[in-house]
Chains A and B, each alone.
Chain A
Amino acid sequence: MDLSAINPLILVASLMVAATPILLAAIGELVVEKAGILNLGVEGMMITGAICGFAIAVETGSPFWGFIAAAVGGALLSLVFAFLTQYLLSNQVATGLALTLFGLGLSSLLGQKYMGVKPPSTSKLDIPFLSDIPGIGRVLFQHDPMVYFSIALIAAVWLMLKYSRIGLVLRAVGENHDAAHALGYKVVRIRIGAIAFGGACAGLGGAYLSLIRVPQWTEGMTAGAGWIALAIVVFASWRPWRILMGAYLFGGVTVLQLNLQAAGLAIPVEYLSMSPYLITIIVLVIINRSTQSAPAELGQVFHASH
């Protein structure tokens, strides 16, 4: 085994890439959960976004349109969830599961033509001056645009939740939907908006996997990323910047175990591959003392009788 082959700077650069899909999906789910909705269909929306983005990027030759299509695809699928839970008042846990099961089937159906196809490559941003800083310049400032977009999205969600009127209303709906309804806010409409935003983010996360991180289409390629995103929202205690921390921590573990596999560590590959999931579970256990910070109406059905 040769651990010296692992370069910490490259490790940091690749963990940012590894974390981005989960980061995108998790920040979307955070907004959904802040509105009091538990959507367990993240995995299904991610994989649908992955194939929508992949297909459109291949057909148009433009990753940009691929990402747009992924966001639209994820959002459309999430609207099915929104319709069922908001208008037909179905159980959110069961409906989220249905979304995941359906999304996995739908995506492999859509993706049959695209097995083994190479997607158009996404050009990297080369931020002038900053990327010339020796050492960290290349690590932090020479990624594809989506890496920066995801960080900007965190900042935007944080600002929105903390300082804007929409954010306040969203939180009110999530904390006490009856009171918000009594104040005249359109609880259902706000929630549908949040769900669609979450779907779009999950779709983007999926497309990042199929277009940049892997880049290829294979069935079931999200391999639990959506569930890990859900775990990271809990880990982050529903705070945007902690999502960044959680996702990068997870990205670090993933990249490190891949590097250890490549370096030929004496532990069998399968045990290294299960480590990200195990570590997610361990983190969930450690962090769970703070569940009080969960939105009060999380997962509750809202039915206005008049």
Chain B
Amino acid sequence: MLRLEKRPSPSKMWTALTPILAVILTMIAGGVLFWILGKDPVEAIRTIFWDPLFHEDFAAYSRPQLLVKAGPLILIAVGLSLGFRAGIWNIGAEGQYIIGAICGAAVGLAFYPSESFLIFPAMVIAGALGGWAWAMIPGILRTRFNTNEILVSLLLVYVAEQLLASMSLGLLRNPEGRGFPGSRNFRDFPAAHNGEIFANTGMHWGVVAAFIAVIFVYILLSRHILGFQIRVAGQSPKAARFAGVNPNRLILFCLGTSGALAGLAGLFEVSGPAGQISIDFNSGYGFTAIIVAFLGRLNPIGILLAGLLMALTYIGGELAQLMLGLPSAAIQAFQGMLLFFLLAVDVLSNYRIKFSRSEGA
């Protein structure tokens, strides 16, 4: 009979190995899923994980896409990881992402067609503030009224989606758009456009911000007292209280930072790859980032790698849709499976498995 024995502290080796193990298990289970759908499993897995990077015809297009998709995922996930470490669950990043995009875009559009170089920085600040403010709602409700931040942050996603619909049909609609929903396209507004910094690399300011955030959070967690408090609060709330950690300050900091980063991701997306505020410009990055945060073991460097991998499944998924007719929902299920396997194999890093004969009692 199998028995679990708690390790005194999580195994370092398994902490590093479990994400890889989870990816392999997901590939196997995903292969079975694709096989049930009547596709060749080996071909499907190759199309998702290999072709976007190395296929002679597609790689030239797909490789830059990797950074475009990974940028927002990493930016959001790095912020979320702070709260997740401390046991503060912001799962409404999608809403903060939308609000950040709306606020940033609104600032930019207000100055159309100015050519001042100050517009883009102002948009960035507005985007971050928008996301921050949206995340402060669950934050303040939690610290003032002890309201569950999980539910409030998530419910606010639906509110944000309705606001987005209202904005793209009303206030921010392109006045020259012949009545079509959606704002002006930022591609026609150079001062506010978040274009590629180097041509054909996919590198835009959002990706730069993601790298900066990774470095910033890494230093915060390893060198700063606040990072220490976050780690203590997650591992032992009681010890944190004795160590003089102010839980309310921590909640507001974690929610605020993750909200601001999600807002930034939204702004960079809407002014760059998406191009305009439209009813469905948001593509669920706020939710996928939760998977990225866990896949990266809530560690900034890990999240960087996990974000790239998850971006690969997005691009590979699109490719598989095109080449093999694999439904896009299959990729969504595939990403969900990855999180399951990840949580399942986590047991190996926290517990030791013992084989023992079943006892009489």
Interface of A toward B, CB cutoff 8 Å? 40, 80, 84, 88-91, 93-95, 97-98, 101-106, 108-109, 112, 219, 223-224, 227-228, 230-231, 234, 268, 270-271, 273-274, 277-278, 280-281, 284-285, 288-289, 291, 303, 305
Contact = CB atoms under 8 A, between A and B. Distances in A.
Contacts of B147: 281, 284-285, 288
Nearest to A219: B329
Contacts of B331: 105
B166 interface: yes
Given A270-B169, A285-B145, 14 more contacts: A88-B347, A94-B294, A94-B343, A98-B339, A98-B343, A101-B336, A106-B333, A224-B155, A268-B166, A273-B162, A277-B156, A280-B151, A288-B145, A303-B6
A36 to B, nearest CB: 17
Interface string B276-292: 00000000000100110
Interface in B252-300: 287, 290-291, 294
A268 B170 contact: yes
B94 to A, nearest CB: 12
Nearest to A83: B344
Contacts of B330: 105, 109
A103 B337 CA distance: 10
B213 interface: no
A98 B336 contact: yes
A109 B333 contact: yes
B340 to A, nearest CB: 5
A40 B150 contact: yes
A102 B166 CA distance: 29
Interface in B123-153: 141, 145-148, 150-152
A148 B170 CA distance: 43
Contacts of B154: 224, 227
Contacts of A228: 155
Nearest to B337: A102
B4 interface: yes
Contact of A277 (B5, B91, B159, B340): B159
Where chain A touches its partner, the secondary structure class is: helix
Interface string B320-354: 00000001011111111101100110110011000
Given A90-B344, A277-B158, A102 B339 contact: yes
A130 B152 CA distance: 41
Q: Interface range on chain B: under 10, 10 to 19, 20 to 34, or 35 or more? A: 35 or more
B324 to A, nearest CB: 14
B336 A104 contact: yes
Contact of B290 (A101, A274, A305): A101
A6 B141 CA distance: 35
B156 A281 contact: yes
Contacts of A277: 155-156, 158-159
Interface of B: 4-6, 37, 84, 89, 91, 141, 145-148, 150-152, 154-159, 162-163, 165-166, 169-170, 287, 290-291, 294, 327, 329-337, 339-340, 343-344, 346-347, 350-351
B344 A274 contact: no
A227 B148 contact: no
Nearest to B293: A94
B88 to A, nearest CB: 11
Contact of B335 (A101, A274, A305): A101
A270 B162 contact: yes
A109 B157 CA distance: 23
A80 B333 contact: no
Contact of A285 (B141, B159, B290, B332): B141
Given A93-B150, A223-B158, A284-B147, A270 B332 contact: no
Given A101-B290, A268-B166, A288-B146, A108 B329 contact: yes
Contacts of A289: 145-146
B151 A88 contact: no
B337 A284 contact: no
30 contacts: A88-B343, A91-B343, A98-B343, A102-B336, A103-B336, A104-B336, A105-B335, A108-B332, A112-B329, A224-B157, A227-B154, A228-B155, A230-B151, A231-B148, A270-B162, A270-B165, A271-B166, A274-B159, A274-B162, A277-B155, A277-B156, A277-B158, A277-B159, A281-B156, A284-B147, A285-B145, A288-B145, A288-B148, A303-B6, A305-B5
